[in-house]
A and B are shown apart, each in its own frame.
Chain A
């Protein structure tokens, strides 16, 4: 008789890793054999996870079509099953999976669109957080300002892509064939910022130096380090724009970093 843990591991191998016969030996087989009974669960879990991936990656689903998406999802589920029951989190590795998936190689922009959809989904479901208190920021000594380290709003995401993936994503989701045809794949890279505000999730295209500046701030670099990384921009006005839009929720000084993280 298997322990509960032994049985649960056997079920995992039988259902997700698709090793037939592995746990069927433990199933009561009367008129219906164990594999047929296990198949009900196998179909449900593959269906549930495929749906979860389709909800996170709707543009990819449209771009490659249902059957392609389902077969890719089936392989991905086996390779990277979810690690929690909060399925909004599921599929973080799907962009990398598609990037290395030979049948998808004919659409070079696919991994970039996948990463954008991932960032949009993260923005949709990120926890709520109030923007930082600007009066506290104003109280920082001028000499300390360069040491400020910001904590971005959990919904803020930054990504760069070699193709105009934001335009592709919009055209696909709105089923706008004219816009899709007008896309110039050779137009060069894009630098994107994704965020959630009161009206929903927005995908914004930034000039590359501004994107570099924001990337530094979001990576817990100090304000001075971010300014040094993007000397060509008017950092004060760009930062003011981010603060006004509520893209940072907390800050600390480099010497207080541990408190910021907590």
Chain B
């Protein structure tokens, strides 16, 4: 019953439980000119701060599509507190765009007022959990809305971590009421890099908390001696194993809004739409499954 209720709720929600694509500058004009049949779009919030052409374009696009604002710079895990000026810039973009979803990452990027331009992994400790929860509370109170927090891909773990990442993420959701943006590619990448069990990761997340799924391509870096690190570079198609993990995620979570991300070597819009329609096929099967269950 829980799953079916979820499906009904999402069907009426601001972002449909369908496939969307990450919108990047090279596709602004093509999207406005052709208005492709895509259920929704997601952008990086930081790219639309300030005034001028970027936000003006996004406002025009917003007239045709629900928009999700996905931030990369708030640094929810900074020990010293959030950069309030950055939170205000996010608030200003949200005021103009009226997004259907707002999301950020389970990571940190800022220390001593300096921005380290990447999503850095947190130690999975009670101290870090308290800090992240405080900052999610602060963000939700400021924006006056629920946000989603995404599991990052990671290339290292800290020795003093004591909590599995999925339990940490689930605890942030249960303590703050935020949702989870489940990046299936990131689970695959991190699990490969750290020897985790990706099924255990999915099983550790409550379906009711999942507000969105991300899919993307990644690369494999050879380090010699048969050692590899998988790198989340968003520069290629989703690999078959990640499609498989996505199907497992849908089986557990039900139909969830799903985004195709592509950030390096950005291809033509039709390639992104092709990847999205592949996700849409899987989403359709899940929706059909719930309809059948409803009818039975």
Contact = CB atoms under 8 A, between A and B. Distances in A.
Interface of A: 1-5, 7-9, 11-12, 15-16, 26-28, 30-32, 34, 36-38, 40-41, 44-45, 48-49, 52, 81-88, 123-129, 154-155, 196, 200
Contacts, number: 134
A11 B111 contact: yes
B75 to A, nearest CB: 7
Contact of A28 (B46, B114, B157): B157
B116 interface: yes
A125 B52 contact: yes
- Interface size bracket, B side: 35 or more
A13 B122 CA distance: 16
A45 B109 CA distance: 10
A84 B123 CA distance: 22
B123 A7 contact: yes
A118 B110 CA distance: 24
Interface stretch (B164-172, B199-207, B223-231, B282-290): B223-231
A84 B112 CA distance: 11
Nearest to B71: A85
B128 interface: yes
Contact of A8 (B50, B52, B79, B229): B79
Contacts of B238: none
A8 B111 contact: yes
A7 B52 contact: no
Given A37-B155, A85-B110, A124-B52, A52 B117 contact: yes
Nearest to A7: B123
A11 B80 contact: no
B79 A16 contact: no
Given A87-B46, A125-B50, A5 B80 contact: yes
B156 A28 contact: yes
A11 B116 contact: yes
A87 B117 contact: yes
Nearest to A16: B116
B172 to A, nearest CB: 15
Nearest to A80: B114
B112 A9 contact: yes
B214 to A, nearest CB: 18
Contacts of B127: 3-4
A36 to B, nearest CB: 6
Contacts of B216: none
Contact of A88 (B50, B122, B223): B50
B159 interface: yes
A2 B73 contact: no
Contact of B156 (A34, A88, A128, A155): A34
Contact of B118 (A26, A44, A81): A44
Given A40-B231, A86-B50, 16 more contacts: A1-B160, A5-B79, A9-B112, A11-B120, A12-B111, A15-B116, A26-B123, A26-B158, A32-B227, A38-B156, A48-B117, A83-B114, A85-B75, A86-B46, A125-B49, A127-B50
Contact of A82 (B77, B114, B157): B114
B48 to A, nearest CB: 10
B34 interface: no
B133 interface: no
B116 A84 contact: no
Most buried by B among A30, A44, A86, A196: A86
